[in-house]
Chain A
Amino acid sequence: MPYHRGICNFCGTGCGHLLQVENNRVRGVYPLPGHPLSRGRLCVRGWHIHELLQTEERITRPLIREGDRYRAVSYDEAIDFAARRLKNFSGHEVAFLGSPRASNEENYLFGKFARAVMKSNNLSLSSDAGLEESARILLEGCGWPAMTASLSELRQADFIMVVGGDLTKQNPIIASEIHFASRSGAFLVTISPRRTQMARLSQKHLRPNPGTTWLLLEALARALQTEGLVNGNHLGERVENASQYFEYLESLDLKQASELTGVDEKEIVGLARKFYESESAYAFYPVGIQSLDRRSMSALFNLFLMTGKLVRPAGGLCPVTGISNLLGSLDMGVSPAFLPGYLPTDRGDSWKRFEELWQVRLDRWPGKSVGACLQEDQSLRALLVVDHDEEIIRQASRIKELDFVVYFGAYRNAFAGLASVIFPRLNYVEGDGTYTNSERRVQLSQKKVEPPSEIRPLWEILSELAGALGHPWAYKSAEEVMAEISRTVPQYSGLSYDKLRASLGIKWPVDEQNPGGTEFPLAGEPGRRFKFIFGRTREQLKGLSSGFEDRFPFKLVVGRSNYFWHQNSVMKRTFIPKREYNALLLLYPKGFVEISADDARALGLREKQPVRIVSEAAEISLAVRISPDILPGMLYIPYFIEEMVSGFLHRQVSELEKNEEFFLPVRLEKLE
């Protein structure tokens, strides 16, 4: 059974693996030694990807809904049917949900189909909020949308800060790199209310009260200022608003910040000093479903800017993506905010460029995310969706009301059941495609097995649909799509399949100046301009209290579980990860809520006691799990119980969409 080199398709780390293929089936997996990031390691998910790749729960034929049933049809019939229906909708009436698991080529064409063929700018990903926010902040602050650092030099770092989430669960191999860096001498600090495994591996763990992470980060900046550790002149004229930011900081009282965050002032000052003195400092924060919030991202950016650490040839800000091609999907412009290559949609010249490149007229109206369309837009009538493998279907009832839903997917799942027409899609080992990991590394995943005969690549299906709608597309392969991407996306201009075949990934920008990719894009660019990102006036430290402490005294935080990742249906098709998930479910069939030992004692709660969690909008019953990892006053629910997610959290959609530091004010009632 020979091993074939490939790229793991689960999270945004993009580890290298070897897939064992026999009789056209993937029979085993092994870590790829010598991969520059994963260096021969895989996590529990990566070690079981072959189980997923053997599932027979595939969609294998195009299907058209007839009443409550689906009828298998030929491709021609499905294309014809979909094209005839799509002709009836104007651009404003259609929305497009891209997939962070799909390749760059697929996402690029999906976006082009939306904008150039359907004249719709309602185009987004399902879990993009955090990454898009991060890109906006970085673009505004330094004109650069993604990770400013590279992980290749991480083991030489002397300061690493991990803010929010739990990287050991979300991106275990990046967490492992951080752990190795810490073992070779880097000072590792975790900032998170919950005592995560990352926190246990850190030399220092600062635990801000839920909702105050941003304040703690601003307090660090304030401490730099009070200690006279501001490196304000290092960038001189290049920073647009330094004096305004320092003025803004002066209004922050360290003592008050210390009280509100619950972190000792000495700790804040000590950490600020340690950070200032470091040669190469990295900060990691999660983006995606369980993203760091907007204010914390901005505060973190400001910290790096004011100490001059953004332009060092080592270190920087590292937004970490939770799904394989989340970054690539945004690179390809699957967003209402950006055309491919981060060209902002609110500028006329962005549109003009793509009108010229695509030789087509584009409608320049501002698009919305799919979530926003479903929530606010009563004129929405049709939805096109690629591989939505999360069980969470926001606004499912609204989707059911739509006139027409097209689903392109590899596996049978809940979303496919909402579709009017279903097109089977290749899984990632059945065709070629590139995927871009958190550190901007573009990697080619090559075809390893023949797909079932009735399944076609997405580029081919979209080309046929475009043709049927009067836009003949001539793509003959994913490689040709990449050739077009290299002409239209500046960051990818130096990429080709030939180049990618001979490498283990290349970090964008890849262009004439950087033919081999770029490690630290901000270093050695004397012309780049910077800007601190902050609100004009200091917000009244609000949001730190919910205002209803009397009725809802607890702050509920939601987190990720190692095995049931993103609440997606993908893990259910494996054996071992599924078993591990079931082990938790057997213990806590209705899910659990973690509470500190202090609070449990005060409320007289015992292990596994059923309780009710009540928020303003919803309630749910769960079992108690007493945990040493939880702060008093805080509750924690892992993000993996179907009922919890769709029945409880999704009623809090407005909270989730805001991308503020997310906690829900709740109360806890004993169930007798």
Chain B
Amino acid sequence: MYWLPGDQVKLLARRLAESYSVYGPRRDEISGEVVFDRLEVPERLDLQAAIPYNPPKHVLFPHYEEILRYLYERDSQKVAIEKIDKVEPKALVGLRACDLNGILCLDRFFLWQEFVDEVYLEHRQKLFLISNTCVRPFPQCFCVCTDSGPAAREGFDLDLTFAGQGYLVQVGSRKGQKLVEELGLQPAGPEAASLREKIVDESVSSFDSFALENKAWVSRATNRLTTGFIKPEVWEYIGNQCFECGACSFVCPTCSCFNVEEVNRVDGQTDRVRTWDSCSFEGYTKMAGDHNPRKPVEDRRNKRFFCKLSYSQSKKYLRPGCVGCGRCARVCPGDIGLPNVVTYIRREITGE
């Protein structure tokens, strides 16, 4: 492990900006809240900022992205297809462990199944990932219930843990090792590993004092969701509160569903566009011939939580589909973020 003095974080950001577009948490100057964004000025990187309101998903799976362009020549009846090559190398600095795990889930969906998504792959190959241990949890957090924090275990190039005057730096890849050497970081000494362990343990034990917004008894809910024993009334109660806005999917670090549209441009070309989609929409599951296996809103809600927590789905991600970031609870107009849903399921089990 290496040591990064606190005053050298800017140096790290500037160094990364030489070869990458640098993304990280920054504070909005008026609302004061934290957004994970491209940093026009690398110095705006704020590693002490709270967990960002948005996950880093948009960096490698944009809200709206042209994935190819084609032109149909009417006279020759030929189609010219063009790859849209504009993916730039990006460094994601200060990822919270939940969000890093979110990226690993996206990898499972886009890369690790039968079909490899080339567009995503290109984004992914050009990423440099630096995680940042949560030395103290935030009010909305429940990553300890989903085994995805407060510290990262894998998937990073570098991993930072704040320890007083600076950061303990763990190297996770050859790329990371190279950067550490270029920056001339000094080894953090023999105690570093146990110091990090201690910091993480303290963080875990402080969840009861700081992470007060949400509790999610994920393992019981997983069991119940997998066996399908949840009464329809529970889903109806949840469905009645769904405003069908799609926000839960859009803010979820692991939600990967997308829609594909062909957009005709005024110059005659057509762009194939990929945009975020959500299982909360009725049109999402609609099939030809008016069939919709999930027409009522409660069935659509049911599906989402099955996707996040059931055992069969977790086998795909090799972990639960929920990483415990608590964002869905914050953006939901109906107050049916995942922790609340788990609470309703638990209430049904315990009969409280």
Contacts and interface: CB of A to CB of B under 8 A. Distances in A.
B298 to A, nearest CB: 12
Interface string B81-100: 00000000000000000000
A41 B35 contact: no
Interface string A144-176: 000000000000000000000000100011011
B290 A180 contact: no
B90 to A, nearest CB: 10
Contacts of A41: 245, 247, 331-333
Contacts of A562: 244
B275 A576 contact: yes
Nearest to B280: A44
Interface residues on B, range: 35 or more
Interface in B24-72: 28, 30-35, 37-38, 40, 53-54, 58, 62-64
B283 A502 contact: no
Nearest to A28: B63
Interface of A is mostly: mixed
B286 interface: yes
A175 B63 contact: no
Contacts of A504: 30-31
Nearest to A503: B30
A578 to B, nearest CB: 9
A315 interface: no
B335 A179 contact: yes
A502 B30 contact: yes
Interface of B is mostly: loop
Contacts of A20: 58, 63
Interface stretch (B104-112, B160-168, B259-267): B259-267
Given A504-B30, A587-B290, A172 B283 contact: no
Interface stretch (A29-37, A249-257, A296-304): A29-37
A40 B333 CA distance: 9
B27 to A, nearest CB: 10
A248 interface: no
Interface string A569-591: 00000011001101100110000
Interface string A1-21: 111010000000000101010
Interface residues of A, number: 50
A44 B265 contact: no
A195 to B, nearest CB: 11
A265 interface: no
Nearest to A172: B243
Interface stretch (A46-54, A80-88, A121-129, A306-314): A46-54
Interface of B: 28, 30-35, 37-38, 40, 53-54, 58, 62-64, 240-241, 243-247, 250, 259, 261, 265-266, 273, 275, 277, 281-283, 286, 290, 330-335
Given A42-B245, A44-B281, 20 more contacts: A1-B38, A2-B40, A28-B64, A30-B54, A32-B33, A34-B33, A35-B31, A43-B333, A51-B275, A172-B243, A172-B245, A175-B243, A176-B334, A197-B243, A575-B259, A576-B277, A576-B281, A576-B283, A582-B283, A583-B282
15 contacts: A1-B38, A2-B37, A3-B37, A28-B62, A30-B53, A33-B31, A34-B31, A35-B31, A41-B332, A43-B245, A46-B245, A197-B240, A197-B243, A504-B30, A504-B31
Interface of A: 1-3, 5, 16, 18, 20, 27-35, 40-44, 46-47, 50-51, 54, 56, 168, 172-173, 175-176, 179-180, 183, 197, 200-201, 502-504, 562, 575-576, 579-580, 582-583, 586-587
In the complex, the 6 A-B pairs of residues with the closest C-beta atoms, listed nearest first? A34-B31, A28-B63, A176-B333, A33-B33, A583-B283, A33-B53
